[in-house]
Every structure is written in C-alpha cells, then in structure tokens.
Chain A
C-alpha cells in the first residue's frame, strides 16, 4: 500500500491551504501528539482538506473536556479527536489492587461515558475515540485469557465496550488502531526509542496510517465516500480469459488459484449487501461475458448482483463514463478493479477522480491488499442499503419502458407513483441523516445533519420537517427527499427552506413539483405568506442552480421568494399518502 511518508506529509504543511475546504478539529492526547497532528494536517492536504487543528497541551483530556470554559470548547471544533494510549492505560492499571483490576474495564468505560457526556453538554461536535492497540504485558502468559485481573483481559474488554458505546452514541466514532495493529504488527506501530525519548506512542512510519484512518472517518462523515465497485472480468473476477478459454476452463472455485478469485467475489458480494453498487466493465462479447454469471456453478456473483453490466470492445474510459451516467454518482465515489496495468493507467489518466487500486501481480494477494486500503469507509448503515442494486436495475427497466411512450405525461401517469409524506420520526431518522450526508448533487444548501441533529429537529418548535418516499409500478425507491423549513425569527410570516435535497435517482418524475405543492400546503395551513429559498453553490450541486427559478420563485438579494397565497398548484402524477400532520 502506497502512502506518503511522514516527512512528505510534514512538507505539505508549508503548502498553500487557502483554497481547501476548512474543517476545525481538536486533538486531545495523553501522550505527545505533535507528530500526529503534523501527519494529520499533512494528510488532510492530500485530500484537499484544510484541517484547522486545536492541539491541547500534553495530557489534558480530562481538564479540557470537563471545563466548559476550556480552550477546547472556545476553539469550536467540528470534531474532537481523543487519543488515549495503551501505555497510559497500562500504568493506570498497574496502580490498582487485584480486586480493582477485575473491574477496570467497567470503571474505565464509566469514565469515558463521563467524558462523552461532558462533551455533549458543551458542544454538538462529533467525537473520534482511538481504541487500544494491544500490549501483552506477559505477566500471565496465555493464562491471561482465563484471568479477569490480567491487563490483556481488561484491555480487550474495553475495546469491545468502546464499540457498544459508539453504537449507542451517534456522535461517537472509533478510530480503530487495534485493527491497524493487526495489519501492520506491533514492531511497526511503535518505536520504543521514540516512545522513551519523546513519549510519542506511534512510530514515524506508522503515523501516516493513523492520520489516514482518522481522515477516512472525517471524510465519510463529511460526505466523501465510495458508493460503487466496478469489476473487470478476465483475471480479475475469475482466472483466465473467458473468450479464449471457455466457461469450463476459467479458474474459480476451491481449487488452486480459483480460490483467490472466489475470495474476491465473496468480498464483493458482502459489499453489495452493505449497499455498495457493483458494476462490470469488461472487454468481451456480452453474452460470453454473462455466461459464467448465469451458468458457472462456482460463481459467487450472479447477474442479479450487478447493477450495470458493460461488456463490449469499446475503450474502458468510455464504458466507465457510461456506467457513471447510468448510476448518476460522482467519479470520486467509484472504485475500479482491473488486473491490467495498461488499462489502469489509461483510466487513471483520463478520469483522475476515480480510485484505481494498484492490484498486486499475484491474484492470491488481491484481497489481502484491498483490505488494507480501507476503500469503503462509511459513516452510516441502514437496513435498506442492501436493496440499492435492485433499485438501479429497476431504473434500467424504467429507461427502456419510457422509450415506448412518446408523451411524457402519459409515461408518468402509467408509472402509478405514490409518495409517502411524513415528518421526521424515530423510524426515518437514520435514513434522513444518511441522505443528508450522501447527497451532493441535488442539494440546495448542503447542510449536513447527523442522526442526533435530526432528532433535535423532531422536537423543535420552529421547524417543519418533511421526508418523502417514492414507489411506482417498477419498484420502491424508499425515502428519497428531505426538506426542512425554518420559521424566520426576523419575520414570523416567512418560512426559510433550510434544506432541500433529493436523491438523483428520482429526477424527471415531477417530484420537485410534488414536493413544492406539499410545502405550500403546509405553509398555507399554518398561515405563512412566503417561502424563502437559497442556493449555496458547491463543486457538485450545479444541477440545482436554477431550481427555485424553474419552480417560479423570484430573486431578491441573492435569495428566492415564493408568494404562498398566490401559488397555483402544479400538475403532478404522484399520489400523496400523508402520514401525520405536524404543527409548530
């Protein structure tokens, strides 16, 4: 895995950060954190982030978090990164009597809960907690596994409890250093000499990986993550060349090198079930390429797993562009796997935003290599995610069905669309938060909401919240649109559209018109006179530049206004199913 060295990251610090997206962080540690902070800032530059970091003095975790007037809270961070070291944990543990040791984990987790509660009381910020790489102090040997007063026993328990804690607190994320230790080994992650001389617990060669892991979490929360895996076929998905070798001779299954490809397919299948879209891009005849997916008994992946299947003799750059246009997601959210270095380089040079891992030469090493890259970091997971592939396949069917209609209205009518309109509630909260983090293109102001902030809106007295689902004869899109209206403090007859975002999968259905009808209806019923909209441009939301103009809003001072009493309801072919009325 190639990653910039500590020294290279450090040199980034002298570069120009002015144009990069600024994110405010605070780093608290009970060991020396300067080198970590340098790596983090330098790594941020690699991903075009300007991490503005408040670094607390040495060993100030408690003081900074418990004191509500602390410099930490004054720095107003968007993320608090807390690095407690195993070394300090060990010295804490050694001070205890034998009975106290048995309840060390319990006491420690209670303390972490207090830290989190203190942070939550003072700020809405997200918290990234390091878990603990293991130190086997070899006091009990293997017997520590049978001894609850041993350090290893308590440490492993703490790591498990931290996961529980993170699952219960939506603002808490775990920086999984224990897993990095598993990948790289203890002698790589710590340099005893540096630790003894400077109290820095991670070695210089390891620090860039810690910085990457931290940044992966932040980037995914900020909406930058992978949504799609594109697979080449010959010698990537199976061994051999289907066109030359034929279906009976390709390598897949439990024998020999076939096992390596089976492993890769099993992994891809798990990703698909987590909600990653799978696509195929291969230089082949289409029916020959599809044959193993339909007939080979050892194939793990089947045609139903693949959202977009492209096999032809065109160049891969064009084919990947085609896949991108069908899926309607950014190139920077796609990963392309291909065994051929020539294809990889060509695709990389034409589509630089695309992630193209440098696969090892030996297929036996594909999977272990890919696992080290942490390509598919995510900040949320909801049960509906595993239906995404099916939704894209339904979309492909809709596209070919639409071609049989010449009149758009007839086509829309024939879809029998139904939209469920509901305020935010505890059932839709995870999906609302997820959509708020994922949507980049159809998003007017790109304000990101976490599950926590969504929950606060539910009980807010000056907000109206809307979620919209959509289904038609071909299938169910699920929850695809979110709107938040805020009563203006400056003028209580006006509603400001704080958020309007929509999944790009439901464009050209008249959904915008349907949503606006609902918004106006709500405004009217509650005696409001104006809806105020705003468009905040980002590098990705150009498609909604004229959104309010197209809907009939008029521009005043950079904002868009719609007169509620004079609104003429727009014609739509979507039938509403209203869940519950809400009132301010």
Chain B
C-alpha cells in the first residue's frame, strides 16, 4: 500500500476516534499538534489501527513512534511481512 493511501485511511481513523472532522494527517503530524491526541486516545488509535490493517504492534514498536510518518512506515513493513 502506498503511503498516501495509508495516510488517508489513518486520517479517517483519527477523525473517528478523536471526534474531530478537521484532522488531515501528513507524515510530519505528531501528538504535539493535535490537541485530543494524548496517551489515552493514543491507546484507542493503536487498537483501531491494528484492527483496521489486521496487524499487531509490539509494545517497543509503539514506544518508538514519534509521528504519523513513523506509524505509516511501521504499517508498511508489517504488511509486507
């Protein structure tokens, strides 16, 4: 799957969970710029992303994520594997 495609699908997940229609994700988007994205909503996002892409992250992988770009590349590698 192309990065752009993943970004679009991620945006929908973020919009749903954070209940904020104005979210448009780019690779550089991080928790710092989206107000509702905190440690608790992050849990929800990770669970939803795992369900949507039918993949599983390890705890260490989650802790290393810094922005949406990192999340995209992680999803890509998981899907190839």
Q: Which residues of A contact B (CB under 8 A)?
A: 6-7, 10-11, 14, 34-35, 191, 193-194, 196-198, 200, 203-204
Contacts and interface: CB of A to CB of B under 8 A. Distances in A.
A193 B57 contact: yes
B62 A193 contact: yes
Contacts of B63: 197
Given A193-B57, A193-B62, A196-B59, A7 B43 contact: no
Contacts of B33: none
9 contacts: A7-B44, A10-B19, A193-B46, A193-B57, A197-B59, A197-B62, A197-B63, A204-B43, A204-B47
B47 A194 contact: yes
Contacts of A10: 19
Given A7-B48, A34-B40, A196-B59, 10 more contacts: A7-B17, A7-B44, A10-B19, A14-B19, A194-B47, A197-B39, A197-B59, A197-B63, A198-B40, A204-B43
Given A7-B17, A191-B47, A204-B47, A35 B59 contact: no
Given A198-B39, A198-B40, A193 B17 contact: no
Contacts of A196: 59
Nearest to B48: A7
A204 B63 CA distance: 19
Nearest to B61: A193
Contacts of B44: 6-7, 204
A286 B46 CA distance: 58
Contacts of B48: 7
B16 interface: yes
Contacts of B57: 193
A191 B48 CA distance: 13
Interface residues of B, number: 14
B19 A193 contact: no
B73 to A, nearest CB: 19
Contact of A7 (B16, B46, B59, B62): B16
B40 to A, nearest CB: 6
B37 to A, nearest CB: 14
Interface string B14-51: 00110100000000000000000001100110111000
A181 to B, nearest CB: 19
Nearest to A196: B59
A193 B59 contact: yes
Given A193-B57, A193-B62, A11 B19 contact: yes
Which 4 pairs between the two chains have the least Cβ-Cβ distance?
A: A194-B43, A204-B47, A196-B59, A193-B59
A231 to B, nearest CB: 38
Nearest to B63: A197
Contacts of B62: 193, 197
Nearest to A205: B47
A198 B17 contact: no
A363 B63 CA distance: 47
A10 B43 CA distance: 14
B17 A200 contact: no
B44 to A, nearest CB: 6
Contacts of A198: 39-40, 43
A10 B18 CA distance: 10
A7 B12 CA distance: 14
A58 to B, nearest CB: 13
In the complex, which of the residues B19, B40, B48, B57 has the most CB atoms of chain A within 10 Å of its own CB atom? B40
In the complex, which of the residues A10, A34, A35, A193 has the most CB atoms of chain B within 10 Å of its own CB atom? A193
A14 B21 CA distance: 14
B16 A200 contact: no
